[in-house]
Amino acid sequence: MQRWLILGHRWLGIATGMFLATWVLSGLVMMYVPFPNLTEAARLAGLPPIAWDRVRLGPDAALKPLGLTRLPLALSLGMRGDAPVYRTILPTGELGTVSAETGAVLGPLSGVEALALVRARGGTGPNPSVTTIQRDQWTVTARYDPFRPFHVVAHDDSAGTERYVSQVTGAVVLETTRFARGWNWLGSIPHWIYLTPLRARAELWRDVVLWISGIAVAGVLSGLVLGVWRLRLRRPYAMGVSPYRGVMRWHHLFGIVGGVALLGWVASGWLSMNPNRWFSGPSPTPAMRSAVMGEAPLPGFDALRTVAVSGPVEIRFTGIAEQVHAVATNADGRRHVEPPVAPQSLSTAAARILPGAQVVAAETLTAYDAYWYPHHETRVLPVLRVRFDDPAETSAYLDPETGEILMRLDRSGRANRWLFSAPHRFDFAILTRHRPAWDLVLWTLNGLGAGIALTGIVLGWRRLRRPAPSR
């Protein structure tokens, strides 16, 4: 059995050693440089105030050409260049943009318009340029599919800023800098195996990562078993607790000290790909959002007057138990909701989230819990947490100010939090609230993981270079 473990560990390590080293070292980069995105704060800060003198139509009149009579799952009023527009989701799932001045359904944004729009946001250099793409390294995921194609505006500034403007909506959906793009080639891209031709084929990419990480799990686990098997604490070998010398000795000792952490990272990384679809995601389903909304009508022009005085850059319309609310947001992120969401309306809406299930507990959280917490991101407080008596023991988190569902969580989602997030990101409150404790723990464990992987690569290389035995 030991011989087969040694042979299995050796060749599994040779097959996945470079991946293990890459995952460990790129993970250190990802601690500080996330994958390029456009944060909500940056998005709002770049939006111009709504030109109220040009808003002539309410949502009910403006959306008639699209055949909408009820409030859709997403509807907002903002600016497209110097013109106010409504942006919405059509029954087909596509995005629609309608002029708030004339009611005309707007076509694709041109490159010239995109360049002018970005210039109006400020921060461009003397010679900005624009190119049109369907997909690239930074827009490879499916979340960008409704917004394709894009006009990419290069700012010609010292930071190498590039903004991606959707042809469909005329909105900036992504911002990257030279710094973020460069470091991501050492961080997220190798860590997630985010090669554009592969990642564009979502199922193929998922299968590749599952197989590579699964083989790596077997390699690390076999090494951990062998490492413990060959360790002697009570009756040491002549050279100490390990029978090996040189690089092999370091590989053994690194594995004993850091093997459990490395196994936790690789196994949780494998689980992050949701093998066999074991875990449900945290996003509320369209059915849940529709249930909360009810048969809410499209609001009229008067709904805009009540929030116009706050000088918003964007107004979103949400439905809570048949009641429409206008959520006006300023450039600094401050919100004003009209009419305010009543506690009774929120309770009524929350009870509709899961038809056939009863609410067994509802409480307002003013502090984060083990599932609703920030980690390299911003999450609002307070939130309303509602628990149901369904077989999956579902919980939902709602924004009490707007009534929107922020997250849903069932038994599988809670399992995913402890099987993936906890061992992979070490996002325990005791660490994340007391940085640099979190940084020190991860740097130490990553250092041990790197030691295991790099010494394994040296040993594997030596083994491959060894001449084959003569017959």
* Per-residue pLDDT tens digits for 379-398: 999 999 999 999 999 999 99
Residue among 193, 256, 185 nearest 29 (CA): 185
pLDDT at 468 over 70: no
pLDDT of residue 337: 93
Residue among 200, 109, 88, 194 nearest 153 (CA): 109
* Distances 263 to 20, 371, 448 between C-alpha atoms, Å: 10, 23, 12
Contact 297, 324 (CB under 8 A): yes
Task: Report phi then psi at 407, rounded to 5.
Answer: -160, 145
Q: What is the mean pLDDT of the chain?
A: 93
pLDDT of residue 227: 93
Does residue 316 come out as left (phi exceeding 0), alpha (psi in the -120 to 50 range) or beta?
beta
Please give the average per-residue pLDDT across 4-17, as a whole number.
92
Work out the burial of residue 234: count CB atoms within 10 Å of its CB; fewer than 13 is exposed, 13-18 middle, 19 or more buried.
Answer: exposed
Please give the average per-residue pLDDT across 32-38, as a whole number.
95
3-state helix/strand/coil string of 373-412: CCCCCCCCCCEEEEEECCCCCCEEEECCCCCCEEEEECHH
Length of the chain as a residue count = 471
Task: Report phi then psi at 316, rounded to 5.
Answer: -105, 145
Q: Which secondary-structure segment (H or E) carries 200?
A: none
Residue among 424, 435, 414, 423 nearest 370 (CA): 414
The span from the CA of 374 to the CA of 344, in Å, is: 28
pLDDT of residue 307: 81
**Two tokens at 265?**
């990272």
pLDDT of residue 217: 97
The span from the CA of 249 to the CA of 239, in Å, is: 10
Helix 246-272 to helix 437-465 angle (10° resolution) is 120
* Distances 17 to 14, 160, 239, 465 between C-alpha atoms, Å: 5, 35, 27, 16
* Model confidence band, residue 469 (pLDDT cutoffs 50, 70, 90): low
Please give the average per-residue pLDDT across 186-205, as a whole number.
95
Contact 200, 135 (CB under 8 A): yes
Please give the average per-residue pLDDT across 301-306, as a whole number.
83
Q: Is 364 helix (H, G, I), strand (E, B) or coil?
A: strand
* Per-residue pLDDT tens digits for 207-266: 999 999 999 999 999 999 999 998 988 888 888 899 999 999 999 999 999 999 999 999
* Per-residue pLDDT tens digits for 117-161: 999 888 889 999 999 999 999 999 999 999 999 999 999 999 999
pLDDT at 304 over 90: no
* Model confidence band, residue 3 (pLDDT cutoffs 50, 70, 90): confident
pLDDT of residue 433: 86
Residue type, 249: R
Q: Which secondary-structure segment (H or E) carries 326?
A: strand 323-329
